Chains A and B, each alone.
Chain A
Amino acid sequence: MAGYLQTDALVKRFDGVAAVDNVSLTINKGEIFALLGSSGCGKSTLLRMLAGFEAPTSGRIMLAGSDIAAMPPYERPINMMFQSYALFPHLTVWDNIAFGLKRERMPKAQIAQRVDEMLDLVQLKEFAQRKPYQLSGGQQQRVALARSLAKKPQLLLLDEPLGALDKKLRERTQFELLNILESVGVTCVMVTHDQEEAMAMASRIAVMSRGRVLQVGTPKEIYEYPNCRFVADFIGTVNLWEGTLAVDAADRCEVKTANGLVSMGHGVSGSLDMACAVAIRPEKITISKIRPAVAVNLFTGTVKEIAYFGSYNTFIVEVPGGATVKILQANTSRYTSPVSACDITWNDAVFFWFDVTAPVVLTQ
């Protein structure tokens, strides 16, 4: 099924180096799609190609069925919200928003109506006659958003939308922005290096590294079922244990690692003795000084570091062999009971275990 926006083997080279390397993505109408990766991974170049500021070296960009790769930016039904907002400093808020509409030669009354609509949407009605330098960062961002939505584009591009805001403001703005985008119903592609931002806002995420897309999926899919070591490590924190496949059955398998045998409640496609890694998220591991009554995936170690983060604790446990395992335990009760994790302190000998559903086998 062809998506609303589709890139077909898109490549962009600068001086022989591929910034975007054979990217094929399908983005559906109305969804918010995130390109996630650290700096230099090619996400910004990809976004700029969608906007029209970079011409692809090869490949196609299909929007609602037609190839727009050769179209200049001023002809594309795509609008972008810039990281630096790029508001026109010599124009008022009203004129900034009306700018794109005037280029379309819309009748004046219609322009006025649309601009008012946008001002209402971002709640900046009283600021219509101000100039950008008279606004706060958050207000400028809202103007930039209103301006990019004014022309009712078929696709909205967002370049690090929350990058310029400080942390507190960011959390609040995240939901406001999401609400606006969902109420308008526009298809969005956003670029970010902040995984929390991507996870919170996007319906699907593409994780990129070195010009290539490593995995595409919903936030949950990416987090719980990473397809390679890079993605597992990039999103959140993870414990990666290298090993070889020891047992491979239809509904379970076992991987032999340096720390012991890890059992999983699902089969895996591969051959025995093949090299692979096991990924276990810290919050899925339970830690205690008291030996639990579990049969598999039980390990021992010594507590080396403890960090208290208020809502949760982090333990760094050293296992026989020298490796460390990171374990996260939520602080669900204030009063300690004899067997709770809050009893644990440095250099304690502890047990830690996890369910067979917790680990994921990675072959890449």
Chain B
Amino acid sequence: MKLLLNPGRRFVIGVPYVWLLLFFVLPFLILLRISVTDMGNSVDPFAPLIDTSGDAWRLMLEFKNYISIFSDRVDGPTIYVEAYKTSLKYAALTTLLCLVIGYPFAYFLARCQPSIRPVLLMLVMLPFWTSFLLRIAAWKGILADQGVLNNLLLWLGVIREPMVMLYTDVSMLVGMTYVYLPFMILPLYANLVKMDMRLLEAAHDLGASGLRAFWLITVPLSKAGIIAGCMLVFIPAVGEFVIPSLLGGAENIMIGRVVWDEMFSSNNWPRASALSVVMIVVILVPLALYYRFKDAAGKSA
């Protein structure tokens, strides 16, 4: 039965809906529109879409922003394509590292005594609640050539001269993995903790050893959690901006940084928009995967 009078219901649905349409959908439409304009000579990035100067109306769509993304140079792929590739590469590596480190962690956490689990969970969340910017800045200090880690290793005699870790792949991946690890652990944990332990007992009873039971039963049952967790890491990682700025070097230019530069350094708003649209297209498939598996991940195995 209709438990809410219609005006009340419309209000409850309407307010958030309007907010989202206004501040999420509308900006995206504007983004699309800007991406097909010509920056040209005018300062105004909002060059008209429809040209009314002639006799007939002409739709002025400029796709050159998109074209320039993909083929600007004769001698190889553009810096934009490189940036996309780099972003995807680091996002994928980060996801993999987070999975390899995070899955066992979530698994062991889920198997802990129920009494200490909340405490451990709180300990996992605590770093998350302190500024991530500050923690990345800390890594900068730790991994620097004259930083703590190098000094420690030198003092221990493990290495003879400082390892260059900052502004390399190493610092990038350390930073990315560090930041995104909780995003992988939490959905995995939520999924694993709901798993029925009796299934594993049944497997043991039927003769499967610990490791085999793990591979044959636990992992497939947590499939939804794995995929949701991976997407939760991968998708935002593609557009990551802060970590490459602080910990990355010249070879680690990621697309987030490129969009920023196009926007604020080159003032080329149309191209920045086009780059963003392409980024969205790139993450569409992972996004679909995420939506598909996020609810299943929350349910019991």
Contact = CB atoms under 8 A, between A and B. Distances in A.
A–B direct touch in complex (beta carbons closer than 8 A): yes
Interface of A: 52-55, 72
A197 B22 CA distance: 59
A72 B1 CA distance: 9
Interface in B1-36: 1
5 tightest Cβ-Cβ pairs between the two chains A and B: A55-B1, A54-B1, A53-B1, A72-B1, A52-B1
Contacts of B1: 52-55, 72
A53 B1 CA distance: 7
Interface string B85-112: 0000000000000000000000000000
Nearest to B1: A55
- Say what secondary structure dominates the interface of chain A: loop
A119 B1 CA distance: 34
Nearest to A53: B1
B191 to A, nearest CB: 29
Nearest to A73: B1
5 contacts: A52-B1, A53-B1, A54-B1, A55-B1, A72-B1
B5 to A, nearest CB: 10
A330 to B, nearest CB: 45
A55 B1 CA distance: 6
B7 to A, nearest CB: 16
A73 B1 CA distance: 11
Interface in B177-193: none
A229 B270 CA distance: 81
A11 B17 CA distance: 37
Nearest to A48: B1
A251 B1 CA distance: 54
A52 B1 CA distance: 9
A55 to B, nearest CB: 5
Contacts of A55: 1
B6 to A, nearest CB: 14
Contacts of A52: 1
B247 to A, nearest CB: 48
Nearest to A55: B1
A197 B187 CA distance: 47
A54 B1 CA distance: 6
Contacts of A72: 1
Nearest to A72: B1
Nearest to A52: B1
B3 to A, nearest CB: 9
B1 to A, nearest CB: 5
A55 B3 CA distance: 11
B292 to A, nearest CB: 26
A56 to B, nearest CB: 10
A47 to B, nearest CB: 15
B121 to A, nearest CB: 24
B67 to A, nearest CB: 54
B8 to A, nearest CB: 13
Nearest to B5: A72
A183 to B, nearest CB: 34
A228 B6 CA distance: 47
B9 to A, nearest CB: 15
Contacts of A54: 1
B138 to A, nearest CB: 43
Interface string B41-83: 0000000000000000000000000000000000000000000
Contacts of A53: 1
B181 to A, nearest CB: 37
A53 B3 CA distance: 9
A69 to B, nearest CB: 11
A9 B35 CA distance: 65
A54 B3 CA distance: 10
A160 to B, nearest CB: 22
A55 B2 CA distance: 9
B281 to A, nearest CB: 40
A73 to B, nearest CB: 9
